[in-house]
């Protein structure tokens, strides 16, 4: 795109909750559905592998053709890990904003009292937490 900006949106890799919801009788619409209590669900090995291979290859190619200027991630661990694995060694400014996190629906979305946990996860993935996040919740 000449003279303009592009927005590239990427969904996190496969998580523990995705696996759970894929089991017979465990979908949101199932009679008697029970939230499994998987707080801030993590990527599965398959989710990590895909982010570290296919996503990394695709992001490197995209960055080469039109440099990525900024990465903004949800504070959820699955999003942070997907971003870190996908970007690999690319040196692109990274930040975290709760404004793009999923709405709270199940235990897999974090609660406001977990802000310290989120801050430490952001630091572990070399990402800054948006200052407005401290007001989130």
DSSP 48-105: HHHIIIIIHHHHHHHHHHS----EEE-SSHHHHHHHHHHHTT----EEE-GGGSPPS-
Find, among 21, 71, 61, the residue nearest to 44 by Cα.
21
Q: What pTM was computed for the model? A: 0.71
| Domain boundaries along the sequence of the chain | 16-135
Tens of pLDDT, residue by residue, the chain (137 residues) = 456 777 778 888 898 888 888 888 887 777 877 777 777 888 999 999 999 999 999 999 999 988 998 999 888 889 999 999 999 999 898 888 877 777 655 555 555 445 566 666 667 766 666 655 444 44
Per-residue CA distances from 34 to 20, 25, 39, 84 (Å) = 11, 10, 14, 31
The pLDDT value given to residue 137: 45
The pLDDT value given to residue 32: 78
CB 95 within 8 A of CB 69: no
CB 95 within 8 A of CB 77: no
The pLDDT value given to residue 121: 66
DSSP 33-54: ------TTPPBPHHHHHHIIII
Question: Token pair for residue 131?
Answer: 């200052």
The pLDDT value given to residue 75: 85
């Amino acid at each position: 795109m000449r003279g303009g900006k592009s927005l590239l949106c990427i969904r996190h890799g496969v998580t523990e909750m995705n696996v759970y919801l894929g089991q017979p009788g465990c979908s949101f619409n199932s009679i008697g559905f029970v939230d499994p209590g998987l707080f801030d669900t993590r990527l599965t090995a398959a989710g990590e592998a895909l982010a570290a291979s296919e996503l990394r290859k695709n992001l490197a190619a995209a960055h080469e053709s039109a440099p990525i200027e900024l990465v903004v991630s949800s504070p959820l661990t699955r999003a942070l890990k997907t971003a870190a694995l996908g970007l690999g060694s690319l040196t692109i400014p990274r930040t975290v904003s709760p404004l793009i996190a999923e709405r709270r629906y199940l235990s897999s979305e974090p609660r406001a009292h977990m802000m310290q946990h989120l801050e430490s996860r952001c630091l572990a993935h070399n990402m800054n937490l948006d200052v407005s996040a401290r007001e989130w919740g």
